[in-house]
A and B are shown apart, each in its own frame.
Chain A
Amino acid sequence: MLRYITKRVFAMLLTLLIIATLTFFLMKLLPGSPFNNQDKLTETQRYALNEKYGLNDPVPVQYINYLGKLAQGDLGYTFQFDGRTVTSMIANGMGPSATVGFEALVFGTLVGLVLGIAAALKHNTFIDYGAMIVAVFGIAIPSFVFAGLVQYYFGVKLQWLPVAFWNGPEYHILPAFSLSVGVIATVARFMRTEMLEILGTDYILMARSKGISKNAVILKHCVRNSMIPIITILGPLSIGLITGSLVIENIFAIPGIGEQFVKSINLNDYPVIMGTTLFYSFLIIAIILVVDILYGIIDPRIRVAGGKS
């Protein structure tokens, strides 16, 4: 297991290097430069600024310099504010982003599991149809539409919850809910299909033939086995949450990384573009790794070499 994880971490670093390289050169292809739109700057000042940030060097040299700093964990300074590191910007934005994402994931998975299990156990009844109608809406309608709807209904009309900003727990509810709708829908559909399939397997009949009660069989034998594919889709779902959060953070004016990411691209803020891209990439690769490891823990059949005996 340890060898497997080491191998995967190494592969992860290599992937990050490739992403850094691609992003760096693509970013350099973007029209404009960080200081072009500031009309008040004279030619000399601009030259001095470019010199200060090393932007006058040839691109390959900049690339090598960037990688050198990156290897030491230095993501550089933003161009937007004097003397603020990219790391501190990401750290500041991470709190709200991670909170909303995590809340949406946990809430969405739990509700999705309950809906999926209920639909499977009440197969072909109105509970099943109801749950699946909810799921179809959840998949078909993007999260920002829900965001607008709940903002209007709960925020403006009923005035139960704040419409936007990030000043306390009650501010989490609407964005986390909007973000979780897709998760609920996907998890519910997967769980239903999987439960139905597993309820029909021989080992469920075998467990029943041992005299175990139906509920105990569902809990001990069925739900756990049905969770295996759910854990695999949690990876892509979390990634969906990350991209979804870009929009949701803007709608609810949450000071997260997604907001900074969009802004940095508009401003040609090279270090922030690189920093946030690498951060997102790191997150996504890490999620995939964690999912693979979890998968092995739940399903002993895929416990990788070295796990046995």
Chain B
Amino acid sequence: MEKLLELENLHVSFQTYGGEVKAVRGVSFKLDKGESLAIVGESGSGKSVTSKAIMRLLPNKIGSIKEGQIRFQGKDLAKATEREMEKIRGAEISMIFQDPMTSLNPTMTIGKQIMEGLRKHQNMSKSEAKERSINLLKLVGIPNPELRVEEYPHQFSGGMRQRVVIAIALACNPKVLIADEPTTALDVTIQAQILDLMRDLQDKTGTAIVLITHDLGVVANLAQRVAVMYGGVIVETGTVDEIFYKPKHPYTWGLLASMPKLNAESKELLAIPGTPPDLMNPPKGCPFAARCPYAMEVCMDHMPDVTDVSSSHKAACWLLDERAPKVEPPEAAVVGGAR
């Protein structure tokens, strides 16, 4: 099957007064047509930076792609010109942002904000674009779209605004939709609705989704494959089942263990002790070694190789080396009790 989007050894750095921050340090993944991939990790793991790098929307002066390729339909976006990117953004790849309260222009009607992309990419007339906007609003489940299209963002609730943002992102039938924490800023009940909507729309439009999140519940709902990111690298990838039921990397164990569970006897929320590595001076070895309860000497000095657990499941951890001691995931990291 043809790969739609393929990242290879992507490095992204930010120039700051303190020095170079290596936010993404060699990320590779593939995305098929119509597939949904979740990138999971805590704040600062480089997941949002990766998505902005794909869109080439890194802050101009300080952020840059140092190395690697972003192949989209055979074209390397890492080397594309601004003009070429303008044709791809919105039309081929589009993006949903975290906070619907701030991602819409407060002084423009939502109709105009949807129409903007349509007019640019599909040369639609004003009336055509407006008709399409109304249809899009209907598609994302906004009642009275004919009236709502003339309204301003402040007249919408948070969940409704996120629906509008989704409508804007899907306006030109993009092949890839990057959703950067699409439900983080929403109420839990609204989160479920938005996730349902996204799944439903994916079925209808066949858009591939890159879902960026730190919420494993969201992953289970929407994704087929998962990439776990830590310290600017992907530490484990696999199908949702593999990641949830046969996790191999201690960081993934930590993430799973810190998920609140309804049936847990302990009332305490588990956390991974320590803080993420300082990416201005990234560790020589495994980025998680400093927080890893199973860390060995080799972890501090050498970056672990990627080990194939199965054809779809890969993890970068020294524990998977045949010379390493056998370690079982902790009790708390076991999802649903059965493996």
Contacts and interface: CB of A to CB of B under 8 A. Distances in A.
Interface of A: 201-203, 205-214, 220-221, 224-225, 228, 298-301, 308
Given A211-B85, A301-B152, 4 more contacts: A206-B95, A210-B90, A211-B89, A301-B154
Interface residues of B, number: 34
A228 B95 CA distance: 28
B97 A206 contact: yes
Interface stretch (B67-75, B103-111, B307-315, B322-330): B103-111
B57 A205 contact: yes
Contacts of A225: 105-107
B88 A211 contact: yes
30 contacts: A201-B102, A202-B99, A202-B103, A205-B57, A205-B103, A206-B104, A206-B105, A207-B105, A207-B113, A208-B57, A208-B89, A209-B90, A209-B95, A209-B169, A210-B90, A210-B168, A210-B171, A211-B88, A211-B89, A211-B90, A211-B120, A212-B117, A212-B120, A220-B116, A228-B107, A299-B107, A300-B106, A300-B152, A301-B152, A301-B154
Contacts of A203: 102-106
Nearest to B59: A200
Contact of B103 (A206, A211, A224): A206
A1 B114 CA distance: 28
B87 interface: yes
A213 B86 contact: yes
B110 to A, nearest CB: 11
Contacts of A300: 106-107, 152, 154
Contacts of B91: 211
Contacts of A212: 86, 90, 116-117, 120
A205 B90 CA distance: 12
A214 B169 CA distance: 18
Contacts of B97: 202, 205-206
B55 interface: yes
Nearest to A201: B102
B257 interface: no
A220 B108 CA distance: 9
B78 to A, nearest CB: 17
B105 A298 contact: no
A214 B94 CA distance: 16
Contacts of A224: 107
B91 to A, nearest CB: 6
Nearest to B118: A210
Contacts of A207: 105, 113, 116
Interface in B144-169: 152, 154-155, 165, 168-169
A301 B117 contact: no
Taking chain A's interface residues, is the majority helix, strand, or loop, or is none over half, making it mixed? helix
Contacts, number: 78
B68 to A, nearest CB: 21
Contacts of B102: 201-203
B121 interface: yes
Interface in B104-141: 104-108, 113, 116-117, 120-121
A211 B121 contact: yes
Nearest to A203: B105
A209 B106 CA distance: 17
A201 B102 CA distance: 7
Nearest to B87: A211
B326 to A, nearest CB: 46
A298 B105 CA distance: 13
Nearest to B178: A209
Contact of B105 (A209, A221, A228, A308): A221
B251 to A, nearest CB: 29
A211 B57 contact: no
A209 B89 contact: yes
Contacts of A213: 86
Contacts of B117: 210-212
A298 B107 CA distance: 7
A209 B152 contact: no
Given A205-B97, A210-B120, A301 B106 contact: yes
A221 B155 CA distance: 19
Contact of A210 (B89, B99, B107, B155): B89
Interface string B231-245: 000000000000000
A123 to B, nearest CB: 8
Closest 5 pairs (CB-CB, A-B): A211-B90, A211-B89, A210-B90, A210-B117, A202-B103
Nearest to B94: A209
B57 A209 contact: yes
B180 to A, nearest CB: 10
A208 B103 CA distance: 11
A98 B95 CA distance: 51
Contacts of B169: 209
A213 B83 CA distance: 8
A193 B205 CA distance: 42
A70 to B, nearest CB: 42
A165 B164 CA distance: 60
Contacts of A201: 102
B94 A210 contact: yes
A202 B168 CA distance: 14
A137 to B, nearest CB: 28
A288 B100 CA distance: 33
Nearest to B165: A206
A178 B165 CA distance: 48
Contacts of B94: 209-210
Contact of A221 (B99, B108, B120, B168): B108
Nearest to A221: B105
A228 B104 CA distance: 17
Contacts of A299: 106-107
